[in-house]
Amino acid sequence: MPDVVNKKPSLSRAATATEIESSNFFDLSIDLLAVANTEGKFVKVNHAWKEMLGWEPEDLLSDTFLSFVHPDDIEATVNQIQSQKKSGTTVQQFVNRYRCKDGSYRWLEWTASAEIDGFIYAIARDKTDQKRIEQERDRFFDISIDLLVIANTDGTFRKVNERWTEVLGWEQSELVNRPFFDFVHPDDIEPTLVELEREKRGEQVTKFVNRYRCKDNSYLYLEWTTQPEPDGTIYAVARDITQRKLAEQAIMQSVERYQSVIETANDGFWVIDIHGNILEVNDSYCRLSGYTREELLQMHISEIDANETREDTLTHIKEIVNKKNILFETRHRHKNGTLWDAEISTSYSDIEGGRFFVFIRDIRERKFNEQIANLRDGLSKIVYQGEMDNIMRVALDIAESMTQSEIGFYHFVERDQKTLSLQVWSSNTLKNMCHAEGDEMHYPIDQAGVWVDCIHQRKPIIHNDYEALDHKKGMPEGHPELVREITVPIFRDSLIVAVAGLGNKQIEYSKWDLNVLERIADVAYDFIERKQSEMQIEHMAYYDALTGLPNRTLFSERMAQAMSQCSHTERVLAVCYLDLDGFKTVNDEHGHDVGDELLISLAKRMMNILREGDTLARLGGDEFVILLNNLKEGKESESFLNRAIERIEKPFVVKGYRLSISASIGVTIFPDDDSTADTLLRHADQAMYKAKADPDIDYHMYDLIEEQEIRSKRQMLDQFKQALERDELVLHYQPRIDLFSGEVVSLEALIRWQHPDKGLLMPGQFLPNIEGTPEEVQMDEWVVKQALEQLNQWLGHDTAIPLSINISPHHIQQGNFSEYLTAQLTHYPDGIAQNLELEVLETAAIHDIEHVAKMMSSCSKLGVSFSLDDFGTGYSSLTHFHRLPINVLKIDQNFVRSMIDDVNNLDIVKGVVQLSKALQRPVVAEGVENIELGMILLYLGCQYAQGYGIARPMPIEAFDDWLTDWKRERLWHRLHNQEELNSDDIELKIAVYSHRRWLESVVHYIETDGKAEPPSLDSGQSTFSHWYHGMGVARYGNRPAYAFLLPKYLHTHEVAASLIKLVDNGKQNEARELLGSLATASDSLLDILTKLSTQ
């Protein structure tokens, strides 16, 4: 190693080195052991080098000791070794960073011998973790904002942080090795020694304070915390508290300076310790609280603060300590038990273990003014919501609460100054004690009790000992017993207008209580006057000045309310607009004074017949309006209207004149007339004019439905005009078949409207709105052109399909229809007319039989044929039928569709068919919805049919595909071969056929595993069900077996439903296995039907 470089080892010592090197101690040591020559090169290292630094022995033996030292530590290492060599020590110690094999460094603490026989022996220990801890400590030491010190046992500074330079100006080097007491203020040395001695004795010394000298010879207050260690080292932390000490001194000087001011101030003052005990109090607070100074100094503030428990106080103290000062409001207890409002301003200082300096201000007057302001706000709202007694009661409740009274009353004094009226009691009085309230009760002042002394003496009165009063009169029944009371008169224009009073406070009333009551009562009366004024203004705004009846404004509000109620109930209301007839004559002949008196008398007479909730209002002049509310139905108003007319027409006697008048009334009913309030009034007015225009009626009911229909018809007509212009009309075609062959024999063209917003509209949705208008004629002409054009197209394809179209009654009755048709046919080849059939409504044909017969004859000569549509629905059909050139009769679909349901319709259809045979005209049945109807018609002898059961109306583009499918249809084509048609019991056979067809669909669905069309399972809507409730009950209902038919039918449906459910749930095999149960149920039903035919 570098401390010795040229000496040669002796042989004897070398032998000793060899012994050491070969010992077990060398190899087993966990420390780093090394032997180096005088050149500083390792000659021997132990295995710990590899474990700790990663070096193999051979890695180290080729280099010198210093080659592994951190470059920054080489100089210090060499200097320290040389220094120790010069001092003559035989053992050298130093610390440096030593390189590991992975390039990192670890701190090693070395202990090396001096040269012994040419060798140096060294031991190194890993101090890396310790160094890291020391570095972290030093880093914290340097960044702390406090003054940090490490001192020796004798009190000399070993180490200080940089904060000393920043705070006191001393450089660190100027403090190190200097005694602690060199810098303590001479006056503070003794107190500081006392604290340190206590600490040495083991007493707990948390903190002490002294003045410490700065470099500029000034002093700062430092607060010290020390911690001695067993090895004698002392750790200390000092904090500069100079500003705090100066502030405390200022406070104390301020307290001393303002002690006389505090003692004479109006506000109370406390000094409180950290636990909430009162340490000092001034005379003002004694006066405010009623306690003596001696009593208060024995109290905790929770005994005085009514809003806090002792626990609350301690929590509050912690909050103030954190915030240093705080302002809040609370209530304090007076010695007499009453409470008073206080504002607390508190500052905290940690002098003498913590002190609170508290100023207490009496804010009862301020709180009272706030409550007066709140009272004004509250009464402002009540003025618009409640009656006058509510205003008084709210005011009394507040006055009662503020004075801690138990009774409160407010009475009005009438202008004669002799009578009282309108007793109002506080809520507490009514709830707990008094039952003597007299609503607007009047009684003389001289009969009242001692509380009217304030009226007699015209000033506020306090009676703190009621029992001692000689002139007391005792209390009426229900009145609370009186202990003490105060009363104040309220003046307006030198008159006493009201008296307010409070009673039964637990302690005597004071002038402050009197002031509270007087102020509150006066404010309340201001609002009473305001309420009275507003009531007068409201009356002028909502009532007629002459009759006192509600005016239009109030009537509208009531009507809106009534309409809202109707919206939530099933009730209706009636608005009746009344106008007097003959009133102008009264004014002209007798003058307006007589006319005004007549209106007043009329109003009184009408009011007598109104129900509760009804309203009579005058709109002006001789016009009135009546609101009849909560009616069950509109007709209920008629009895009132009759009574009203009777009362109005009864003569009046006004100023000696016998006067007679009448009235016209218009009525509308809401919500039948579901309009706004203004519109309802206008509708009633319109109805009134209709009544006035008809001398035979006194009132007229507005017909809302009629008005709506007219308006709707007008709107639809306007839209239809646009439809004609925009070419929005289309024709759909419905086939007509021969029931015997199933062949298509003709088509009927049916009008449709392709509405741009509503989609495809059926005729019933628009034809009624254009009936009898020029637009209806334009539509017919468009249909004729479209039909002729279609026939012409078919003719071009060698197809001759007869086509029927409908002609409106209005069009056919015009004189030029045959001329129009003739002109249209001239545009097309001959022979087209023979395939055109015009359908005419029966009712239209008989409307003007002469003209229609002439027109039809002219058209027939052109080759056109006619059919009579909806035959059987007209009047006197047979009377005129022989006069018309009718080629075909069409049975109204309503009769056909319900033949199975209604046996009467079956008889009608049968009669029409028989009539057509007698007239030798073919007959067409419309409305054939199913195969069963076709069977019945075929049985009755009706050859032709059309309906949804055959085909729905379709665009012409779809007809060819339908026709192809129809030719493959087998059921309708073989209808005439059904054995049921050969039976006399056709009605019964239809039921059997219908049931078997339904049964086949169920079985087919099951056998195809649910892939076929699902059968209907609605037992109430099947053809059989219609038969059972219609044709069946009419023909067979009196037969014994009929009673068993329905249960059998329902059971069959239940079995079918259960099997279909199995299929739908994937259990097809199970459903097939159970088909026998369905057959059994069906056979049971058919057996009952067979019995019906034999009974």
pLDDT tens digits, residue range 139-164? 777 677 888 888 888 889 888 888 88
Q: Are strands 662-670 and 657-659 parallel, antiparallel or unpaired?
A: unpaired
Least confident of 94-108, 240-254, 315-329, 389-403: 240-254
pLDDT mean over 316-327? 85
CB 523 within 8 A of CB 379: yes
112-137 residues labelled b (16+ CB within 10 A) or e (exposed): bbbbbebbbbbbbbbbeeebeeeeee
Mean pLDDT of 970-982: 72
- What is d(CA 125, CA 291) in angstroms, rounded to the nearest whole number? 78
Alpha-carbon 978 to chain mean position: 67
Q: What confidence category does residue 433 fall into, taking pLDDT thresholds of 50, 70 and 90?
A: low
Q: For residue 424, what pLDDT band results from cuts at 50, 70 and 90?
A: confident
Residue 85: per-residue pLDDT: 76
Share of the chain above pLDDT 70, in %: 90
* Structure tokens, 144: 């702390």
More confident residue, 705 or 350: 350
Runs of H (alpha helix) within 386-426: 388-403
Greater model confidence, 54 or 6: 54
Residues paired with residue 1046 on neighbouring β-strands, in sequence order: none
Overall fold of domain 367-538: Beta-Lactamase (3.30.450)
How far apart are the C-alpha atoms of 954 and 946, rounded to whole Å? 13
pLDDT band for position 813 (50/70/90)?
A: confident
**pLDDT single digits (tens) 754-771:** 999 999 999 988 998 888
Q: Specify the long-range contacts of residues 526-535, CB closer than 8 Å, at least 24 apart.
A: 527/376, 527/379, 527/380, 527/382, 527/383, 527/391, 528/388, 528/391, 528/392, 528/498, 529/492, 530/383, 531/383, 531/388, 531/391, 532/388, 534/383
For residue 859, which amino acid is it?
A: C
pTM over 0.85? The answer is no
Rounded CA separation 823/380 (Å): 86
Specify whether the CB–CB gap between 440 and 414 falls below 8 A: no
Average pLDDT for the chain:
84
- State residue 607's pLDDT score: 93
In terms of average pLDDT, the best of 511-520, 757-766, 872-881, 1013-1022 is 757-766
pLDDT reported for residue 255: 59
- Per the DSSP assignment, residues forming a β-bridge with 211 are 221
Q: In terms of pLDDT, which residue wins out, 751 or 466? A: 751
Q: Compare 853 and 638 and report the one with higher pLDDT.
A: 638
Nearest CA to 66 out of 22, 2, 5 is that of 2
Question: Is residue 945 exposed (0-12), middle (13-18) or buried (19+ Cβ within 10 Å)?
Answer: buried
Phi, psi of 947 (to 5 degrees): 160, 175
Cis peptide before 671 (omega within 30 of 0): yes
CA distance 838 to 868: 9
**Euclidean distance between CA atoms 516 and 667, whole angstroms:** 59
Quote the tokens at residue 537. 């203004």
Q: Residue 974: left if φ>0, alpha if ψ -120 to 50, beta else—which one? A: alpha
CA distances from 964 to 735, 740, 743, 795, 974 (A): 13, 19, 12, 20, 17
- The answer to whether 732-975 and 983-1094 have equal CATH topology is no
Rounded to 5 degrees, φ, ψ at 891 are -80, 135
Backbone region of residue 644 per phi and psi (left: phi > 0; alpha: psi in -120 to 50; beta: other values):
alpha
- CATH for the stretch 144-240: 3.30.450.20
The pLDDT of residue 3: 41
Report the chain's terminal Cα–Cα distance, integer Å: 142
Helix/strand number for the chain, H first, E second:
42, 37
Closest CA to 425 of 461, 399, 446, 444: 399
**Are 835 and 855 a contacting pair, CB within 8 Å?**
no
Question: Model confidence over 711-746: pLDDT tens digits?
Answer: 788 888 999 999 999 999 999 999 999 998 899 999
Cα(482)–Cα(469) distance, integer angstroms: 11
Q: Give the H or E element holding residue 745.
A: strand 744-755
Asked whether residue 18 carries a pLDDT value surpassing 60, the answer given is: no
Q: Which two tokens stand for residue 490?
A: 């309220």
- Residue type, position 904, single letter: N
Phi and psi, residue 296, nearest 5°: -65, -35
Q: Is the pLDDT of residue 134 over 80?
A: no
Helix (H, G, I), strand (E, B) or coil at 1029: helix
> pLDDT class for 982, splitting at 50, 70, 90?
low
Ramachandran area for residue 294 (φ above 0: left; ψ -120 to 50: alpha; else beta): alpha
pLDDT at 753: 95
Give the confidence band of 925 by pLDDT, cuts at 50, 70, 90.
Answer: very high
844 pLDDT above the threshold of 80: no
| Antiparallel, parallel or unpaired: β 105-113 and 91-99 | antiparallel
845 has pLDDT over 60: no
The average pLDDT across 826-853 equals 81
Crossing angle for the helix pair 774-796 and 817-825, to the nearest 10 degrees: 30
Strand partners, 301: none
Question: 885 vs 137, 262, 863, 889, CA distance in Å?
Answer: 128, 128, 12, 11
The CATH topology of domain 983-1094 is: Four Helix Bundle (Hemerythrin (Met), subunit A) (1.20.120)
Residue with token string 């009203």:
644
Please, are residues 270 and 348 in contact by the beta-carbon 8 Å criterion?
Answer: no
Averaged pLDDT, 635-662: 93
Task: Give the pLDDT of residue 876.
Answer: 43
Q: Exposure string (b/e) for 1045-1067, b if CB count within 10 Å is 16 or more? A: bbebbeebbebbeebbebbeeee
Average pLDDT, stretch 594-604? 95
Give the closest residue to 955 by CA, choosing from 817, 759, 752, 707.
Answer: 752
Q: Is 499 within 8 Å of 455 (Cβ atoms)?
A: yes
Cβ distance 447 to 454 under 8 Å? no
pLDDT band with cut points at 50, 70 and 90 for residue 10: very low
Which has the higher per-residue pLDDT, 869 or 860? 860
**Percent of the chain having pLDDT more than 90?**
30
Poorest-pLDDT segment among 578-592, 772-786, 907-921: 907-921
pLDDT of residue 6: 32
Tell me which residue has tokens 């913590």: 354
pLDDT band at 1026 (very low <50, low <70, confident <90, very high): confident
Domain boundaries, the chain: 11-128, 144-240, 250-362, 367-538, 543-702, 732-975, 983-1094
323 forms beta bridges with none
Protein fold of 11-128: Beta-Lactamase (3.30.450)
Q: Domain 732-975: which CATH class?
A: alpha beta
How many CB atoms neighbour CB 997 within 10 A?
Answer: 16
Rounded CA-CA distance 644/639 in Å is 9
Q: Which of 679, 657, 655 is nearest to 668 (CA)?
A: 679
With contact defined as beta carbons under 8 Å apart, do 633 and 653 qualify? Answer: no
3-state secondary structure 208-254: EEEEEECCCCCEEEEEEEEEECCCCCEEEEEEECHHHHHHHHHHHHH
Ranges 893-897, 1004-1008, 1037-1041: which has the least confidence: 1037-1041
Which residues on neighbouring strands pair with residue 224, listed in sequence order? 208, 238
- Taking only the tens place, the pLDDT of each residue in 247-286 is 777 766 765 665 666 666 678 999 999 888 999 999 889 9
Q: Is the pLDDT of residue 862 over 80?
A: yes
Find the range with the poorest average confidence among 366-370, 625-629, 1077-1081, 1091-1095: 1091-1095
Residue 140 CB coordination number (10 Å):
11
Say whether domain 250-362 belongs to CATH 3.30.450.20: yes
**Higher pLDDT residue, 438 or 542?**
542
Predicted confidence (pLDDT) at residue 7 exceeds the cutoff of 50: no
Q: Which pLDDT score is estimated for 385?
A: 62
| Mean pLDDT score, 965-984 | 75
Query: Is residue 233's pLDDT more than 80?
Result: yes
Q: Is the pLDDT of residue 794 over 50?
A: yes
Query: Which residues are CB-contacts of 377 (< 8 A; sequence separation ≥ 6)?
Result: none
- The tokens describing 794, both together, are 């078919």
How far is the C-alpha of 205 from the C-alpha of 226, rounded, in Å?
8
Give the H or E element holding residue 636: helix 636-649
* 20 pLDDT higher than 60: no
Q: How confident is the model at residue 296 (pLDDT cuts 50, 70, 90)?
A: very high
pLDDT band for 45, please (50, 70, 90 cuts). confident
CATH of domain 543-702: 3.30.70.270
Q: What pLDDT was estimated at residue 666? A: 95
pLDDT tens digits, residue range 1046-1061?
888 889 889 999 999 9
The answer to whether residues 767 and 710 touch, using CB atoms and an 8 Å cutoff, is no
Q: What is the pLDDT of residue 384?
A: 61
Task: Tell me: pLDDT of 543 over 70.
Answer: yes
For 610, residues 6+ apart whose C-beta sits below 8 A from its C-beta are 616, 626
Comparison of pLDDT for 87 and 99, the residue scoring more: 99
pLDDT tens for 183-227 read: 999 999 898 888 888 777 766 656 889 999 999 999 999 998 888
